[in-house]
Each structure stands twice: as structure tokens, then as C-alpha cells.
Structure 1
């Protein structure tokens, strides 16, 4: 189903029959239906499910990357493999995951020329913005859940459930390691939502799906590079990508969660600012051209 088809059979139908204007939940269902019809979204979820066990299997047959966090332990504990994949994912995969749908969800309407059709029928701009934002957020959360579950399950099945060496040299029992590894993956949620909001903003402003999808990935990589520079501690704390590393404190002998709290606050700030600017830009947009 194309976006134009969904509009004609949904919003347009209600307008011509004189039915009561749709609520936000109705618009959300339309957006979810359009997203589910996209092959890209289905393939992305399939990739999140299938690829992680393949990566873990490749790791199992290679020399341990000892210069990477938990790299030296990937042959001795499946929990280490799950954390190594997480450490690799935050470099570019998670920003890309956040942007693939969010960066196109507004700009796609420009590409199909359907803004005028949507916004001059039953649904208002606020409803459209809320529905598209929720659709992108829900999809990205599901994708992260599938990616995390597949990585953890694949790691434990392929390598095993041996105790996990902690970052302080302590040995973490398997029963304790599993919830900690799951929590480590969960700490990726706030920065993932921040990148989702950034992609949504770029999708609204640029009206170009390529810009909306590619720019958050490039900015994420630039943030990674900036965080490696010395003397920029304050700036580093304000970067979205810093939140992807906040889980390290969960695996020390004396656990600390300050970086997780700080990363959550930073991501919330990025999310709110990006969504506010995106909403205001959409409210003021001239749609008479299509």
C-alpha cells in the first residue's frame, strides 16, 4: 500500500462521507498501517532478528578483539558477546536504526506530494505530527527490543551462560549477569529516542528522505569523534552518543548509575527540543504547493 493509497482510503474517505473527524488514535492506526506495508520496515526488523546470531557466530571463530571492551572474553561467556555487540552497535548502528523510519516519515509525504491531500481533509497538523512521531518511536523501540533479544539469546546459545568477568575484575554469576546485560541494552533507549527526534526534525525541515536518514548517522559519527578529544568533558556530557556508553557502571564491583541518569536527562533535552522545533515548523508550513 502506498502512502497516497492509504490517504485516499482513510482520511479522504472520512471527509467525503461527512463522518466525524478522526481522532489521533485513528490517524495513528493509519500511519502504522502505512509503515507495516513498507518492505523496508519489515526487512529492518528481520535483520534485527537474524543478523546478531550470525555476528556472534563469526566472533566465535575469530581471535578475540582484545582492544575492545569485553572483546577478550567473547570465547568464555556469552554475556560478553552480547555486550561487545552493544558496544559496536552504538558507533553507527543505533543512530541508523533510529533514522531509517523517522528520517523518512515526514519527508516521504513531500516525495509523494500528499501533504495537501492530508492536511486539507479531516486530520489536523497536530494529529498528523503526533501520529507520525508515535509511529516512529514505537517502531524504533520494537526494533531495539528485537535486536537486543536476538543478540542476547544468540550469544548465550552459541557461546554459553558462563559467569561474566566484571570491569573491576570480579566474576558476575550468570543469574546476575543476565538482568545486568538486559539493563545495559535498555540504557540505549534514551539516546535512541534522542536520535529518533533528531531524524524527525530533519525529516520535517529538509523535506528530503535522504537527508533525514543519512544526517543523523553522520552526526552520530561526528559526536563519536568529538567525544574522543581531550579537554571537552562538559561538551562530551551533552552529546547524545555519550549515553550509549552509560552502561559501563553496571559492571563494576561497586555499581554506579550516575551516567545513566545524566544520559537520560541529556537525551530528554534533545528529544523535547527537536520535537518542539519540528512541530512548530510543520505548523507554519505552506502546503499549497502539494
Structure 2
């Protein structure tokens, strides 16, 4: 049997004494690989979950009184359909997409090891390179199909549950339906970059570790590890050098002006990781000895040609980002937080005035400003934490008065903050606003915001 595999004809090792047969075209191998990808019940179940699950969950949440306010845009699920795809994106970046890449890309090569079908595939195709290209493209096709299902299902569920209404951005300005839809599609497109990075890591694990379960679990482990790292108080350069940051940086699309620098860096870093991991998987695959029918992967080779080069890519990206941006700290400072909070408060104050049917005002008239203190001024005035206390001041329209409102801020390491109103009651101390048309949610009571980690003073 080993002799049969050793003498299997291929583009790299044609059989001596015979006329060299041409390798099978990639499109034919790809069609065969797609059939294999869609045949298992596991893949069909995954497709069903991605195309139906988000809609069912969103409609179910709409029937509940409590909202997932700990998720970005979660508090807007009852208000507009456009919040649903963003909530789905936040959940998918943490759990869904790493799991999808594990089940698809993490098993595409290892399945041949488990079934012992390499000798048949090599004899039929006669090209290691075309086998790798077909398997990688088949995995990518399935992943894109599943991601499209997540987008479509969550949006349909949102339209059924809440209808198409304007979306409130992360700086308090209102996004019309068309604008919100365009930014949502762009946010999901950007999230494809870190998904490709995890898919490349899945291909690498599937090739390097063979039948070992670790190959299948590798994208999930790496994805969760990167999400945990984003929760730690790491320097900005280190944070952006991990492809997992692109699962978060899309929130900059929902501010005005858009916070594009972290997003573009995150996408570029993710694509670099994807290219590096896929290239390493390819090198391991074309150099593999297929005469060993009990191949279970080599831990030493996986470390030398898999983990260490990716660590080098991470270090290189961190160094380049630090040198190009000059970012060394957390990126969350007192000035940036005050600027963001004052801008968002001014936008939301105007919205509250509209709800109360009062004359319209402008940000110029309000002249809102914020003064924030961390830990009552007893520690450095920078960095994440739930001990930020801010006072927002503004000129009351139609009166020679200065209004003030208190907020408690919980700032996460990735720049997102939750502002919780602490009075006065008629401004931000109660979750409802009494209007002539009835009680409506108070936009100034609690809201999400975002600090640009690369903003320059």
C-alpha cells in the first residue's frame, strides 16, 4: 500500500517510463470539493442555523422586555431593524465566525487523513498544488455562504420584529435607513478579513496536525484567545496587531466623522495574517510525505513552520503600527473621552428636544462640553475602567442658563463606553421621557459611545 502511494503520479512526480498525464483542472477539483463540503449533515445543519437562527433569535428577543444592552446596539433592538445585523455581528465575531472557520477550514484536510483517502485523491488529481487550491477555495465558498446567511437572516428578523426606522450612531447622530444599510454591509465586509485570517489558521492546523482534534479546534482557540486579549489593558499597537481587533473596529463606521484608521489597520493586519497562514499551510502540504498512511501531524513541525512564523508576523505588525502611529499607551485618555461624550450628548439632546416637541436647536447653540475624572482624580487620568465620572455642561436654549448632567462611564479597553445617566431626573435620570404623545425611551438615560484609539489631539 505504501508503494502505491509513493508511486502515485502527480505534477511534481510523474511516473517514469510512461507518458505524463496532465493534471486535472482546478475547476473540476473545486466542483468535487464543493460536493464533499456540502455532503455531510454537519455542513447542512450549519447552513440551516446560519440562515434561520439569527431571525428566530431576534424575533424572540423582541418578545422579551430585557434587551442585550451589554452588546453594542443591543439596546436598540426594539427600536429599529438595522440594529439586528450589528448585534449578530458582535456575537459572530466572538463565537460564531471562529466556530464556522473551525468546522469548515479546520477539517478540510484532516478529513482525508481520517478517511484514508489521500491515495485516491492524489492518483485522480495528480497535483498537490491544485488539490490545495481547490480545498482552500471550497472552504472559502462555504464560509462566504454562511456569513451571507447570518446577514440576511438577522436583517429579516429585525424587519419583522421592529421595522425599518432610523438608527442612532455611536456619536448620537441619526442614520437613515439607506445610510445604515450601507454601513452595515461594509461592517460585515470588513469582518470577513479576520474571518479569512481564522480560516487560514484553520487550513494550517488541518494540514499540520492531521487527524489530531487540535487542528479542528485551532481557529476557535485562537479566536477566543484574541477576544480575551482585546479585553486586557494592552497597548494600542499590540491590540491592532491581532486580527481579532477587526471584529471590533467596525464600530468606527457608525460615528461621524468615521473612525477609519483603526478599521483600515485592523483589516490590513487580518489580511496579512490570512496570507501568511495560508502560505504556511501550502508549504507544509506540498512538502508532506504521503507515504505515511498513519500521519497524525508533527508537533515539532507545526511549531517550527506554523506557530513561530505567525508570532513573528504579530511582532512585525505591532512594531510597524507603533512606529507609524506613535501609539504606545491604551489610546483612552481624558481629552478624547471628554470630546466624544460632549459630541454624543449634544446630538442626543437635540433628539430629546424633538421628542418633547420643542423648538429645534443646534450643536453650536448648545456648546456642550464635558469634564471627566477617573477614580476621583487619585490615579492616572487615562485607560479603561468603570470608575470614570463625567459632568456634561451646555447652554440651555432660550435661557441664560448653563445646564449640567452627571454620567457614570464604564470604558472598555477597546474604546467602547457605556454612559449611565445620574441626574438630573428631567434630563438623564429616568429611562422614559413624558411627551404629549405618551412615554418614549429617553435617549440621554443610557447610551453607547466609542473613543477613537488613534485619535490625535
Same fold, TM-score > 0.5, yes or no: yes
The structure with the greater share of residues assigned to helix is: 1
Greater Cα shift, 239-248 or 64-73: 64-73
Aligned residue among 23, 31, 36 for 2:33: 31
* Structure 2 counterpart of 1:43: 45
State whether residues 194 and 240 of structure 1, in contact with CA within 8 Å, keep that contact through their aligned partners in structure 2: yes
State whether residues 199 and 213 of structure 1, in contact with CA within 8 Å, keep that contact through their aligned partners in structure 2: yes
Q: Structure 1, residues 39-58: CA drift from partner, whole Å, max 9, x if none?
A: 21111111111101111012
Matches within 5 A, 1:1-290: 20-62=22-64, 63-208=66-211, 210-290=213-293
Q: Structure 1, residues 111-131: CA drift from partner, whole Å, max 9, x if none?
A: 011112322444211011111
Change (3 A) 1:166 1:122: closer
Bigger-Rg structure (1/2): 2
State whether residues 190 and 243 of structure 1, in contact with CA within 8 Å, keep that contact through their aligned partners in structure 2: yes
* Structure 1 counterpart of 2:356: none
| Distance in structure 2 (CA, Å) of the matches to 1:123 and 1:258 | 46
Shift of 1:172: 1.0
State whether residues 103 and 209 of structure 1, in contact with CA within 8 Å, keep that contact through their aligned partners in structure 2: no
State whether residues 84 and 157 of structure 2, in contact with CA within 8 Å, keep that contact through their aligned partners in structure 1: no
Greater Cα shift, 252-261 or 23-32: 252-261
Displacement over 3 Å in runs of 4+: 18-21
State whether residues 253 and 259 of structure 2, in contact with CA within 8 Å, keep that contact through their aligned partners in structure 1: yes
State whether residues 60 and 75 of structure 1, in contact with CA within 8 Å, keep that contact through their aligned partners in structure 2: yes
| Distance in structure 2 (CA, Å) of the matches to 1:229 and 1:70 | 22
| Distance in structure 1 (CA, Å) of the matches to 2:36 and 2:212 | 16
Shift of 1:150: 1.1
State whether residues 103 and 211 of structure 1, in contact with CA within 8 Å, keep that contact through their aligned partners in structure 2: no
| Distance in structure 2 (CA, Å) of the matches to 1:76 and 1:43 | 31
Change (3 A) 1:21 1:68: closer
Count of residue pairs brought into register by the alignment: 274
State whether residues 58 and 84 of structure 2, in contact with CA within 8 Å, keep that contact through their aligned partners in structure 1: yes
| Distance in structure 2 (CA, Å) of the matches to 1:168 and 1:209 | 47
Change (3 A) 1:182 1:209: farther
Greater Cα shift, 94-103 or 114-123: 114-123
Structure number with higher relative contact order (C-alpha < 8 Å, ≥ 6 residues apart): 1
State whether residues 110 and 210 of structure 2, in contact with CA within 8 Å, keep that contact through their aligned partners in structure 1: yes
| Distance in structure 2 (CA, Å) of the matches to 1:194 and 1:106 | 17
Change (3 A) 1:28 1:125: same
| Distance in structure 2 (CA, Å) of the matches to 1:152 and 1:128 | 37
State whether residues 85 and 184 of structure 2, in contact with CA within 8 Å, keep that contact through their aligned partners in structure 1: yes
| Distance in structure 2 (CA, Å) of the matches to 1:231 and 1:47 | 35
State whether residues 47 and 149 of structure 2, in contact with CA within 8 Å, keep that contact through their aligned partners in structure 1: yes
| Distance in structure 2 (CA, Å) of the matches to 1:155 and 1:209 | 40
Give the TM-score normalised by structure 1: 0.89
The structure with the greater share of residues assigned to strand is: 2
Shift of 1:151: 0.9
**Corresponding residue SS for 2:82:** helix
State whether residues 188 and 244 of structure 1, in contact with CA within 8 Å, keep that contact through their aligned partners in structure 2: yes
| Distance in structure 1 (CA, Å) of the matches to 2:50 and 2:124 | 37
Shift of 1:265: 1.1
Q: Structure 1, residues 208-264: CA drift from partner, whole Å, max 9, x if none?
A: 263222221121111111112113322211112111112111111211322232122
* Structure 2 counterpart of 1:10: none
Q: Structure 1, residues 79-103: CA drift from partner, whole Å, max 9, x if none?
A: 1122112111111111111221111
Shift of 1:289: 2.5
| Distance in structure 2 (CA, Å) of the matches to 1:56 and 1:117 | 46
